Amino acid sequence: MSEPEFEQARKELVSTLESSSLFQKNPEYRKALEVASVPERIIQFRVVWENDKGECQVNKGYRVQFNSALGPYKGGLRLHPTVNLSILKFLGFEQVFKNALTGLNMGGGKGGADFDPKGKSDNEIRKFCVSFMRELSKHIGKSCTLLHVCHMPLTGHGRYNDEHALVYTNLLGYFLPRCAVASSSQ
């Protein structure tokens, strides 16, 4: 399977590390990078929802859980028509290093769907979000994964982000503080 976005990110990191003295001083890190380049788990699922005309719609949903060595998987949910596994692996891979540099105990992951919120009604977006979170919750269960909800801004205020957190909380049956945070992507 071709994964150009992910392979490019991985090759750039390997190239940078090989041109440094890191691997020369610590050859065992080469194997560690090989291990870190493979996600711990990839979840793919369908998201079935109904539009305002009563028609059944199907989208592809994903969650790439890259690395939990430092803590729970923290990373965004991207909703955009171009989302695919390669893009989410690339973003999840980068998220691992981004989170590690914060000094907080967070792993790295990324998720999303090939759903385009542009041109959709509030009701359609809500229905999609409910279906997406219901399906995702079947796979990640009650263990806390730090979800950071991203999509193309519709209002500039990220008004649908809170809905993801509330839907996920309702599906779990209890509130997990800070398990879902929200922002709009640019």
> Catalytic residue numbers?
110
Strand partners, 45: 61
For the chain, how far is it from start to end, CA to CA, in angstroms? Answer: 29
Buried/exposed 57-77: b ≥16 CB within 10 Å, e otherwise: bebebbbbbbbbebbbbbbbb
Q: Reduce the DSSP state of residue 155 to 3 states and report it.
A: coil
- List of E strands, the chain: 41-50, 56-67, 73-79, 107-113, 146-151, 180-182
Structure tokens at 32: 């560690």
CA 118/CA 154 separation, integer angstroms: 7
Contact status, residue 126 vs residue 142, Cβ threshold 8 Å: no
Q: Tokens representing 177?
A: 């503080």
